Amino acid sequence: MTNLAARLEDPRRALTPNGIAITGIVLGVLAFWSAIPPFDARTLVFPVLIGVLAMAAGVWGISRGRRRVGWGAVVSGLIGLSLGILATHSSTSNLHTVFAADLVASTLVFATPLTFAAIGGMVSERSGVVNVGLEGMMLMGAFWGVYGADKTGSWAAGLVIAVFSGGIFAGLHAFWAIHLRADQIVSGMAINFLALGVTGYFFEQLYGQQNIPSGVSTVPNVKIPLLSHWTYVGPAIGDLNLLVWIAILLVPLSYVALFKTAFGLRVRACGEHPRAADTVGINVYTVRYMAVITSGMLAALGGAYLSIGFGGGSFTEDMTEGRGFIALAAMIFGNWRPFGAFGAAVLFGFSTALAFRLPAYSSSAAILFQALPYVLTLVAVAGLIGRTIPPAADGRPYRKQ
Amino acid sequence: MTEPVDAAAGPPEEEPPAGFAVRLGVAQRAGGVAVPILTAVVAFAMGGIVVLATGHNPWTAYKGIFAGAGLNWFVHVPWNTSTVNLDAYNLSQTLLLTTTLILTGLAVAFSFRCGMFNIGGQGQYIVGLVTANWVGVSFAGWPTLPHVLLGIAAATLAGGIWAGVAGFLKATTGAHEVISTIMLNWIAIWGGSYLFGQGGPLQNAQDPSSPVSGAVAQSARLPVFWGSSLLQGLDVGFFVALAMLVVFWLLLNRTTLGYEVRAVGFNPDAAAYGGINVKRSYFMAMAISGMFAGLAGALDMLGYLFQYGTLDVQASQIGFLGIAVALLGRNTAVGTGIAAFLFGGLLYGTTRGLNPNVFDPGLAGNLTSMIQGLVVLFVGADIVILYLWNARRKLRLRQQEAPA
């Protein structure tokens, strides 16, 4: 964080190739933004001008060796430009239904479960254990969270039970991955199937044909008086669920924990070179267990948000519907970094939020739009835009000598 | 194993000493019969404990599932081919699912033999379904044989291309196949939802209001050989799947390609040192693996589904079940066939086949997912058991050699 502050204070540092390229990415977003509410530019001038500027910034960045962000800026400028042109041709009323102020709020709403699970997955993979079981751990959190809230009458107890259930499944995965040295992808997939079966079975057993009773205690919204008085977006984001704010806070928190503390260094050491970590006296097994279990707990919080946060106290079989896999994608797209993962989660949340509104234009295109996060991630792992680099020992079991 | 005593007596004339890979193969096959059976038994037992703990009788439940899968046909009325008989009907439905599971299982198994994990069977299956539906609906009026063959060939190829993308990325950029196949799964699911959805290109033109595909023309439907085609009888796709078990075995064990694929699976570095093009093997193994899954989609679409909806695309899980089938079948042809029949029976016996008065299908359906998860979990551990077994044997061998 101090880095960023220093960069902002010193104008020369903002003019580094990296800074220019990042400005290009922002400009690309602005190119599109200029054509939609609240600005509503109805001429082609603004989107084209800003979009070209964004691409120029990107090209400059690439020529100075910042390939990843540079290409990001070019792509962002190109997309911003074309979407902006499309928007100037569309009717104002349609634009206002899709890009209402609460789009910001619903982006955050969709990004929240992804953020929890993606940060969780990052913690686990940074310690060297691949976690494709995020989906199952989320599902556990979703069901046991609503069950706990229903039986105890308190959402806080529900969250605790959710976190506990996710931790148990993560512990199972950790035992298989660390002690039994099983294939981590196999055991992660097993966790997914098992969670699908366990939650579905107990949902049917405990609630039968009737659904979860209405009036289950749910996680409250937090009204922030200062924010809610902002113009335009204020009313939409001034009144968000507590878990949304926790998810946002989790991002800098996980950054500090992973990159600025001794414990974080140990976790990363276990993920990069466990033998070296062991040599200097770090207990690789303990660190990995803690990281994997933390990851399951966070994923479960994301799941609980679906059932007793945003879901308002409900559950359906397979409620997570692949969100654990989008979170995995967000983590990879964000290059195993907290802010990167959060950025990707927001981007994917935005695309989901948009997909729910696009039917104003075309319902079939809206469905296709849901595939966007996966296409982007596929492009990212293919190395077309820069390169995603997993921790060196990710997925490799460690044996003590 | 040649004992040290034999070695002292002189070199054996008839049997040359086996190499390490061969011995490991024998050990795997030897442990490979007992361990999967044990795995399945433990998974079913643990499922039974959950049933018992939640206040139901596991014996009745499993008996109900057994009957629902049509396995009573072997007990009560052997060889009664009349489909008026419920047991025979249930068995034909179990075999219909077995057909799909054999192929989605082979898809996972083939890539495993090359040291890769193809989680994308579901996506490749959907791509196969969509392609077969498109061919089946489009070329109405063609004679039956070319129409069916075109549908099957196109869908198989499409599945191969879909998985080939993951293989190509692994070979060229080193992108992990697990991540890319997961992504390709969801692209296929949303792509299929779009194509069959309202306003989508493959949506039924006769009924624009519902998000369901058009129906496959009569000329592209596979002939039914057991039961009535009106009641979703068993089509000849079943024999295609059985034939594919043989093809899988031949391909792996009797061709150069299969040899290379297995060599890369054992040790890519050693294979590269031996002059095998590892990248080509990755791509080919993935593409062939996807072809099995694409073929599964073709046989299902042309065999009994005919029409498919957006919701079906999103709810389908059969490609994922292929993972459990392949792992339980130890990635061999025979094992995959048996495991596919087990899971086919379990899947049908816990859903449509199950008598709701015997055991709640809502519970039973989830019991299948649970057993599936436990099987995969324990298979993950049995690799370890095998490893420990070999390590212990090696240790004992070393102790025997030391005094001599």
Q: Which residue of B has its CA nearest to A187?
A: B377
> Phi-psi bin for A182: left (phi > 0), alpha (psi -120 to 50), beta?
beta
| Residue with token string 């990851």 | A295
Nearest to A201 among B50, B189, B194 (CB): B50
Which residues of A fall within a CB distance of 8 Å from B200? 364, 367
Q: Tell me which chain A residues have a C-beta less than 8 angstroms from the C-beta of B370.
A: 193-194, 197-198, 201
Residues of A in contact with B46 (CB under 8 A): none
Mutation for testing the B interface, residue in A134, A201, A387 having most B CBs under 10 Å = A201
What are B312-370's pLDDT values in tens digits? 888 888 999 999 999 889 889 999 999 999 999 999 999 888 888 888 888 998 999 99
Chain A contact probe: residue of B35, B366, B372 with most A CBs at under 10 A = B366
- Please check whether residue B310 touches A, CB under 8 A: yes
Q: How far B139 CA lies from chain A's nearest CA (Å)?
A: 24
**Confidence (pLDDT) at A233:** 62
pLDDT at A387: 61
Tell if the CB–CB gap between B380 and A183 is shorter than 8 Å: yes
pLDDT of res. A10: 52
Q: Given B184, B197, B369, which is nearest A367 (Cβ)? A: B197
Contact B320 A371 (CB under 8 A): no
The pLDDT of residue B10 is 39
Q: What is the pLDDT of residue B284?
A: 96
Chain B partners within 8 Å of A172 (Cβ): 377
Chain B nearest CA to A25, separation (Å): 24
pLDDT per residue as tens, chain A (401 positions): 445 544 445 555 556 777 787 888 788 777 777 777 666 666 777 778 888 888 888 888 888 777 777 777 888 788 877 777 777 777 666 666 666 667 888 888 999 999 999 999 999 999 999 999 999 999 999 999 999 999 998 999 999 999 999 999 999 999 999 888 888 888 999 999 999 999 999 999 998 877 778 778 888 888 777 666 666 666 666 678 899 999 999 999 999 999 999 999 999 999 999 999 999 999 999 999 999 999 999 999 999 999 998 878 889 888 888 899 989 989 988 889 999 999 999 988 988 888 877 766 677 777 888 888 888 888 878 876 556 678 888 888 888 77
Q: What is the pLDDT of residue A171?
A: 96
3-class DSSP state of A72: helix
Say what the pTM is.
0.85
Q: What is the CA radius of gyration of chain B?
A: 23
Average pLDDT over chain B, rounded to an integer: 85
B366: nearest CB among A204, A322, A383: A204
A242, HSE (Cβ side, Cα atoms, 13 Å): 11
Q: What angle do CA A112, A113, A117 make, to 5 degrees?
A: 120
Which residue among B187, B362, B377 places its CB closest to the CB of A371? B187
* DSSP 3-state percent helix, strand, coil across chain B (nearest 5): 75, 0, 25
The pLDDT, as a whole number, for residue B3 is 36
Q: Can you tell me whether residue B81 is helix, strand or coil?
A: coil
3-state class (DSSP) for residue A10: coil
CA distance A390 to chain B (A): 10
Which pLDDT score is estimated for A393? 84
For every residue of B348-364, DSSP letters joined together read: HHTTTTS-TTTS-HHHH
pLDDT of residue A304: 95
Cis? peptide before A38, omega within 30° of 0: yes
Give A363→chain B minimum CA distance, Å: 7
Interface residue B127 vs chain A (CB under 8 A):
no
Burial bucket for residue A15 (CB in 10 Å: 0-12, 13-18, 19+): exposed
Partner residue facing A204 (CB), from B185, B323, B363: B363
Residues lower than pLDDT 70 in chain B: 1-32, 77-84, 382-392, 402-404
- Selecting from A186, A322, A382 the residue whose C-beta is nearest the C-beta of B173 gives A382
Q: Which residues of A touch B314 (CB under 8 A)?
A: 321
Q: In this structure, how many other beta carbons lie within 10 angstroms of the beta carbon of residue A351? A: 19
Contact B380 A362 (CB under 8 A): no
Number of CB pairs, chain A paired with chain B, less than 8 A apart: 152
Task: Find chain B residues with C-beta within 8 A of A197's C-beta.
Answer: 366-373
Contact A368 B362 (CB under 8 A): no
Q: Which residues contact A269 (CB under 8 A, 6 or more apart)?
A: A276, A277, A280, A282
**Complex prediction ipTM:** 0.84
pLDDT score recorded for residue A311: 76
Select the residue of A189, A328, A329 nearest B376 (Cβ to Cβ). Answer: A189
Q: Do A378 and B373 touch (CB under 8 A)?
A: no
How many Å apart are CA B252 and CA B350, to the nearest integer? Answer: 34
Inter-chain contact B54–A201, Cβ cutoff 8 Å?
Answer: yes
Q: What is the per-residue DSSP string for A158-221?
A: HHHHHHHHHHHHHHHHHIIIIIS---HHHHHHHHHHHHHHHHHHHHHHHHTTS-PPTT---PPE
Other beta carbons less than 10 A from residue A72's beta carbon: 20
- The minimum CA-CA distance between B360 and chain A, rounded to whole Å, is 9
Chain center to CA of A171? 22
